[in-house]
Chains A and B, each alone.
Chain A
């Protein structure tokens, strides 16, 4: 069995995000990219599937800052093949990424493609379902468990309130991972450094990036931030009344 994981790097929210001079994009001067948390889960799910059923695991990622580290770490966890898609992916939307990734992933003839169900910078849908349609494969998202058998898979799909729907999905398919069956494992730095000496990253070119299908941003801005709580004063009765008013405003009463 052939399993491919598509991984994206997204803005690291630990750093301060600001809008650049154009007013429609993030300032890249201090922007750091980090692996999309849900894609990290997708890698873990891929490794679990490999450990359980001995499939060939390939990780595919676009060429942006930090991609080499990400691929080597995945290799240290157990991935077999590492592919970096060459091209200028900075600021590129998911439609473009999905089309480029589809061209690369198609050649792997995967039985299953997994990727995170969403990412923090999605503005034109998430890459998983876009990729699925580019590949002509079915898609199920919010998956937190997968069993594979010949020609089909059983995906555990999460609904609100803890309800799970087990879906039968014909392979090949794309599944959007909400959570791996166990949290992403730790890899010691020494192990990754070791792997850097032996593993190799394959570079593949994608056809020219085609972003049509996404919105045009007219304005990007930061919502107003409050530095300190608005303090409510008065007697217990007065404070309680004001709090009830707040609860009503927030829609919980």
Chain B
């Protein structure tokens, strides 16, 4: 039993996922309250180098060929041995395709309570989770003596969980991992076809206000600078200026990006119903009465034709390009 905060590192094909760093940042906060260490648990095969920039006090590394790729069964076996032995105060998992395959199973297997959808921890160590599409927040004491927690992004920045100095790595022996019930057969790469805007984190959306196809260039440049993707409302697609796969709206895609930058879009219900899950909507429209301003977090009445080029340049500057 310890007051340490464990985080289960998530990685896929040689890349550590952002959520791992978010969890490390959260763990650092928590550890201040418990007085324990931040311990990153890394499972893999010949993957030790992935520990390089984890902002942890120490890394426990378990190596086994069966851990070369994620398998729920394998991870559950390794972690149940480790967590039941060490009994850290809290173990953090990502609320992801990896983390959710393991956390709940361990809760039943080990009899440790589980809190999910946690976005952050308060200064006095309470969990703060969001449910019901973000409409409701739930807060409470972290169950004791040991708690399992799955985390969603948004409460901490990944940079806060990264370190310039590589942490100390201790290799731990893996339990036997044969007769796994779940194993990877193969990966299938995403199609090289058009982008799925429903999965994009930054969307630059254009509406009727863009006026003609040539002006789409403005949106394209901004998207490129920001690392986003261009999409549009009905009239833009109807005119053939964007492919149907880029349509956002009732008869197109529902999107939930981090940022939805709506340019020249009035905000008719048929469009807005498909964007209400966006984290932050920013609207640019010369009409102060445009309904989009009722659901946007930020807005400006600036003219797109005055603003966008200037904005694109400033974004490039900020990126150091």
Tell me if A48 is interfacial: C-beta within 8 Å of chain B. Answer: no
Interface of A is mostly: mixed
Tell me if B53 is interfacial: C-beta within 8 Å of chain A. Answer: no
Tell me if B1 is interfacial: C-beta within 8 Å of chain A. Answer: no
In angstroms, Cα B150 to Cα A147, docked, is: 29
In angstroms, Cα B296 to Cα A244, docked, is: 17
The answer, among B96, B103, B142, B318, for a CB contact under 8 Å with A125, is B103
Contacts of B102 in A (CB 8 A): 129
In angstroms, Cα B135 to Cα A191, docked, is: 35
Q: Is the CB of B111 within 8 A of A162?
A: no
Contacts of B73 in A (CB 8 A): 138
In angstroms, Cα B131 to Cα A26, docked, is: 11
In angstroms, Cα B132 to Cα A223, docked, is: 12
Contact with A along B232-267 (1 / 0, CB 8 A): 000000000000000000000000001100000000
B218 to chain A, nearest CB (A): 13
A221 to chain B, nearest CB (A): 5
The answer, among A160, A221, A237, A247, for a CB contact under 8 Å with B97, is A160
Q: Is the CB of A221 within 8 A of B137?
A: yes
Q: Is the CB of B189 within 8 A of A163?
A: yes
Tell me if B164 is interfacial: C-beta within 8 Å of chain A. Answer: no
Tell me if A134 is interfacial: C-beta within 8 Å of chain B. Answer: yes
A213 in contact with B181 given A120-B133, A129-B100 (CB within 8 Å): no
Contacts of A118 in B (CB 8 A): 100
In angstroms, Cα B113 to Cα A212, docked, is: 7
Contacts of B301 in A (CB 8 A): 231, 233
Contact with B along A29-65 (1 / 0, CB 8 A): 0000000000000000000000000000000000000
Contact with B along A218-249 (1 / 0, CB 8 A): 11111100111111110011011101101110
Q: Is the CB of B131 within 8 A of A120?
A: yes
A122 in contact with B131 given A167-B71, A232-B299 (CB within 8 Å): yes
Interface size on A, residues (CB 8 A): 80
Contact with A along B264-296 (1 / 0, CB 8 A): 000000000000000111110000000001111
In angstroms, Cα B190 to Cα A159, docked, is: 10
Selecting from A11-19, A74-82, A198-206, the interface stretch reads A11-19
The answer, among A142, A162, A222, A236, for a CB contact under 8 Å with B191, is A162
Q: Is the CB of B190 within 8 A of A161?
A: yes
Q: Is the CB of A168 within 8 A of B318?
A: no
Contacts of B138 in A (CB 8 A): 123, 217, 219-220
Tell me if A88 is interfacial: C-beta within 8 Å of chain B. Answer: no
A168 in contact with B297 given A219-B140, A220-B137 (CB within 8 Å): no
Enumerate chain B interface residues (CB-CB to A < 8 A): 12, 17, 69-73, 96-97, 100-105, 107-109, 111-117, 126-127, 129-143, 147, 150, 157-158, 181-191, 196, 199, 201-202, 226-227, 258-259, 279-283, 293-303, 306-307, 310-311, 313-315, 318-319
Enumerate chain A interface residues (CB-CB to B < 8 A): 11, 13, 17, 19, 26, 94-95, 98, 117-118, 120-126, 128-130, 132-134, 138-142, 154, 156-170, 173, 176, 212-223, 226-233, 236-237, 239-241, 243-244, 246-248, 250-253
Q: A215-B127, A229-B283 given. 14 additional CB < 8 A pairs?
A: A13-B135, A123-B131, A133-B105, A139-B72, A161-B199, A213-B108, A216-B143, A217-B140, A222-B137, A229-B298, A230-B299, A232-B299, A233-B301, A239-B302
User: Mind listing 23 A-B residue pairs with CB under 8 Å?
Assistant: A120-B131, A124-B115, A125-B150, A129-B104, A130-B107, A134-B108, A138-B73, A160-B17, A163-B12, A163-B188, A165-B187, A176-B100, A217-B140, A219-B140, A223-B130, A229-B297, A229-B298, A232-B298, A236-B310, A240-B314, A244-B314, A250-B279, A253-B318
